[in-house]
Amino acid sequence: MKRGLVLVEGQTEERFVNECLGPHLLAKGLALVPTIVKTKRAVGGAHFKGGVTGYGQVRRDLGLLLHDTHASVITTLLDYYALPADFPGMVDRPSGGPAQRVAHVEAHWAAAVGDTRFLPHLALHEFEAWVFAAPSCLEPWMFDDDSNVVTAIAAVAAAYHTPEDIDEGFLTAPSRRLCNAFAGYQKTLHGPIAVAAIGIERIRARCPHFARWLDRLEAIAAS
C-alpha cells in the first residue's frame, strides 16, 4: 500500500478526501492523508486552520509534508479561484482559457518546489464547481427540501461546456452561484453532501482538469 499526503484548503476539502477521493484511491492501493492549511500559529501553540491568504503559509505547510520520505506523492487540493497573486506562475499567466491558465500555475509551482513527488492540483475554479457536474443526482432534501435550488443548479450547469468553465468572477464564481440559488448554502455542510451524491466518476467525466489529476493519482497507486 502506497501513502500519499494531500494539503487541503479547509474542512470541506478534508471531508471530500476522507469520504470520496480517499476511499476511491484506497481501493486502488493509495492511502491519502489530508492536512488542512494552517492560517495562523499562535504564540501559545494553537493553530488556526482553513483558507489560503498567501503562498508563504502553503509553502511552509507543504515543506513539512515533503519531509515525509515514506510518502509516494504529495499533492494539493486548493481553489484556483482567489488564489493569492504571490503563488508561482500567477503574475505571468498566459491569455486563453482557464485550463491553460491553471496548468501554467501548477507547472510553475511544481518547478518552484523541485520535488518529483510533488503533484500540485488547483480545483478549477473551486470545489463548488463539482456540484454542477451532475445536477440530476441532486435531491431537494440536500437543500432544505427546496426543489427550486436543484432547478437553478441545473440551469447554470447547462450554460457551460463543463463545470470547470464556470468563471472566477467575484459575483459569478461557482460558490457565488450556489449561494444565489440557495441562500442557506454552507460550504462545509451542503458541498460535501452534494459532491458525494454525484460521485467521483461523474466528476471525472465532466471535469477534465480533475480527471487528469485523478488519472495521475491512480497511476501512482498502480506503479
- What's the pLDDT at 124? 98
Torsional sign, CA 54, 55, 56, 61: positive
Q: How many domains does the chain have?
A: 2
What is the distance, to the nearest Å, from the Cα of residue 66 to the centroid of all Cα atoms in its chain?
A: 20
DSSP for 156-207 reads: HHHTSSSGGGS---TTTSHHHHHHHH-TT--HHHHHHHHHHHH-HHHHHHH-
**Which CATH number do you get for residue 102?**
3.40.50
- DSSP for 50-75? -----HHHHHHHHHHHHT-TT-SEEE
pLDDT of residue 39: 80
Residues 120 and 134 in one domain: no
More confident residue, 40 or 169: 169
Mean pLDDT over 86-112 rounds to 97
Mean pLDDT of 28-50: 76
The reply to whether 47 and 97 lie within a common domain is: yes
Give yes or no: residues 32 and 62 share one domain.
yes
Where residue 15 falls among pLDDT bands split at 50, 70, 90? Answer: very high
109 pLDDT exceeds 70?
yes
Which residues form the domain of 119?
2-124+207-222
55 lies in the same domain as 116 = yes
| pLDDT at 46 (0 to 100) | 45
pLDDT tens-digit profile of 155-192?
999 999 999 999 989 999 999 999 999 999 999 999 99
Residue that has been written with the C-alpha cell 493569492 in this structure: 84
Is residue 75 domain-shared with residue 148, that is, in the same domain?
no
Where residue 137 falls among pLDDT bands split at 50, 70, 90?
Answer: very high
115 and 66 assigned to the same domain: yes
- Give the three cell numbers for residue 223: 506503479
SS3 content of the chain, % helix, strand, coil (to 5): 50, 15, 35
Q: Are 111 and 152 found together in one domain?
A: no
What's the whole-number average pLDDT of the chain? 95
Rounded CA-CA distance 68/36 in Å is 16
62 and 150 housed in the same domain? no
What are 67-70's contacts with CB under 8 Å, separation 24+?
68/5, 70/3
Q: Which amino acid is at 65?
A: L
Is residue 128 within 8 A of residue 77, CB to CB? The reply is no
Q: What is the pLDDT confidence band of residue 43, given thresholds at 50, 70 and 90?
A: very low
Whether residues 115 and 131 fall in one domain = no
- What's the confidence (pLDDT) of residue 42? 46
Tell whether omega for the bond before 209 is within 30 degrees of 0, i.e. cis. no
Do 213 and 186 reside in the same domain of the chain?
no
pLDDT more than 90, % of the chain: 93
Same-domain check for residues 65 and 108: yes
Q: At what angle do helices 174-181 and 147-158 cross, to 10 degrees?
A: 150
Q: Residue 50's pLDDT is what? A: 64
Q: Do residues 149 and 42 both lie within one domain? A: no
pTM, rounded to two decimals: 0.94
